[in-house]
């Protein structure tokens, strides 16, 4: 055991091999063909994540060594298209990783370590290849090499495989993180420091398996039978929410879906006797993005005495923001929300004297000049906004935008001297 101090962080870790060897081993295990994403996350959560896209192992190692000790360093498990960071940028699932957390007070690293060894031994006993195992600083990762086409059915099969592993190997004091199975998942890079709670702990690999695809495990996962269920199941709703029923059968736009739709869906279904079936319906309607609702359901389960209000206002705003057909008309909760909204809509500031919408109509300036989308106007604040390109501002900014995009006149393109603007249609420029 070695004790160091790095940039104010205390570091206690076992030295297994040099950091470079650990980082290189992980890169070679991923076996990406064109590039690998490195994502840097601020341990203090004050700065947004930064992504680098590495073309070779030397670039990968250099970035890891440069930022280890000041940033949390992660890498994408599955290769994306060049410059991609989202689920839709992944074509093939090549790595399935189990993240075993030891964050609770009664957790023991030794308990988690024993369980990952069991996973490895059982995999070998069943004729599968040895997975990569590494200590992340707060738990363990177990990563299998596979080759599975990314589609809705296969993503659900991967989720079912993960649930089977969780059910078999999760014991008291440790937790299998179920949100790590989406295609664009990232994992900590072994050989870099885990910075948390004022301490820095080195992550390191425990074995060095070959980076060959596990064909037997791939076949086993692809052959999993998917449950059959109806496209729609009539259910009793907590508040008679038609929009939640709509979300069970329609894919929702991604903007704030996790924080708004999945959160309210978890509140909506968690007490239902058929909640597991409803959850699977939600998975299917959202095209296999299985991690969305699980986190919220897990939070509700861990804190059953906490109040989780159903956010009608957020749901209405979400429907309006994404131009979805409004499902809430006729709901008593919506009428209550609408009454409060009308009270808030009383004009203040510039809105007491001017209507920005009337000014736009009078000047024929109702669409964004950049993307030709209709402006959204709020007369309460004398405010305008383009929903597509997010051009927005107040009355003064609107006037400036109108002037910049006014129709061309005979004076446009004529070079004028300072202070020599046309008056009464005549050009006052001096003639030389």
How many CB atoms lie under 10 A from the CB of residue 256? 16
Question: Can you say whether the dihedral through the CA atoms of 84, 87, 91, 93 is positive or negative?
Answer: positive
d(CA 270, CA 406) in angstroms, rounded, equals 55
- Token output for 254: 């991604």
Q: Which helix (H) or strand (E) holds 20?
A: helix 19-30
d(CA 321, CA 159) in angstroms, rounded, equals 31
pTM of the entire predicted model: 0.58
By the 8 A CB rule, do 64 and 192 touch? yes
Cα dihedral 296, 298, 304, 308 in deg (nearest 10):
0
* 356 half-sphere exposure, CB direction, 13 A CA radius: 26
- Token output for 320: 């309006």
- Token output for 135: 């200590």
Closest CA to 37 of 21, 49, 54: 54
d(CA 296, CA 263) in angstroms, rounded, equals 6
d(CA 94, CA 213) in angstroms, rounded, equals 8
Closest CA to 160 of 226, 114, 65: 226
DSSP H helical segments within 187-331, as ranges? 215-222, 242-249, 263-269, 275-285, 291-302, 312-321
pLDDT of residue 315: 85
Secondary structure (DSSP) of 399-410: HHHHHHTPPP-T
- Token output for 329: 């008309």
By the 8 A CB rule, do 144 and 220 touch? no
At the topology level, CATH places domain 2-222 in: Alpha-Beta Plaits (3.30.70)
First-residue to last-residue Cα distance in the chain: 87
By the 8 A CB rule, do 190 and 61 touch? no
**Domain coordinates of the chain in residue numbers?**
2-222, 242-341, 349-404
By the 8 A CB rule, do 139 and 208 touch? no
pLDDT of residue 418: 46
- Token output for 342: 């009308």
- Token output for 177: 């993180």
- Token output for 163: 């649930």
Facing residues of 3 across strands? Answer: 12
How many CB atoms lie under 10 A from the CB of residue 380? 16
d(CA 155, CA 90) in angstroms, rounded, equals 12
SS3 124: helix
By the 8 A CB rule, do 278 and 248 touch? yes
- Which residues of the chain fall below pLDDT 70? 1-18, 103-107, 179, 227-240, 255, 287-292, 338-353, 380, 408-432
């Amino acid at each position: 055991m070695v004790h160091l101090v790095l940039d104010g962080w205390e570091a206690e870790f076992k030295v297994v091999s040099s950091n470079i060897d650990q980082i290189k081993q992980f890169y070679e295990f991923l076996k990406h063909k064109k590039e690998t994403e490195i994502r840097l996350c601020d341990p203090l959560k004050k700065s947004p994540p930064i992504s680098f896209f590495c073309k070779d192992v030397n670039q990968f190692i250099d970035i890891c060594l440069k930022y280890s000790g000041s940033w949390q360093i992660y890498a994408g498990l599955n290769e994306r298209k060049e410059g991609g960071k989202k689920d839709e940028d992944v074509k093939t699932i090549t790595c399935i990783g189990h993240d075993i957390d030891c964050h609770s007070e009664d957790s023991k690293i030794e308990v988690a370590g024993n369980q990952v060894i069991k996973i490895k031994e059982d995999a070998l006993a069943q004729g599968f290849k040895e997975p990569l195992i590494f200590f992340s600083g707060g738990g363990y990762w177990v990563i299998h090499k596979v080759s599975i086409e990314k589609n809705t059915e296969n993503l659900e099969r991967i989720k079912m495989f993960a649930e089977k592993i969780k059910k078999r190997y999760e014991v008291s004091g440790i937790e299998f993180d179920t949100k790590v199975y989406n295609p664009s998942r990232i994992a900590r890079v072994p050989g870099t420091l885990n910075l948390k709670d004022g301490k820095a702990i080195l992550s390191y690999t425990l074995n060095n398996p070959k980076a060959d695809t596990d064909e037997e495990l791939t076949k086993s996962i692809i052959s999993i039978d998917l449950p059959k269920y109806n496209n729609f199941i009539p259910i009793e709703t907590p508040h008679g929410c038609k929009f939640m029923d709509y979300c069970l059968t329609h894919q929702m736009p991604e903007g704030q879906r996790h924080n708004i739709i999945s959160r309210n869906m978890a509140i909506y279904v968690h007490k239902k006797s058929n909640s597991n079936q409803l959850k699977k319906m939600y998975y299917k309607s959202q095209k296999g993005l299985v991690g969305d609702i699980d986190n919220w359901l897990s939070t509700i389960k861990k804190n059953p005495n906490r109040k989780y209000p159903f956010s009608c206002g957020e749901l209405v705003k979400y429907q309006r923001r994404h131009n979805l057909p409004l499902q809430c008309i006729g709901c008593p909760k919506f009428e209550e929300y609408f009454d409060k909204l009308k009270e808030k809509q009383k004009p203040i500031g510039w809105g007491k004297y001017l209507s920005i919408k009337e000014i736009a109509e009078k000047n024929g300036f109702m669409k964004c000049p950049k993307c030709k989308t209709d402006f959204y106007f709020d007369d309460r604040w004398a405010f305008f906004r383009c929903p597509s390109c997010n051009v927005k501002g107040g009355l003064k900014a609107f006037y400036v935008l109108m002037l910049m995009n006014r129709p061309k006149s005979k004076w446009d393109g004529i070079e004028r001297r300072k202070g020599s603007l046309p008056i009464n249609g005549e050009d006052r420029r001096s003639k030389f």
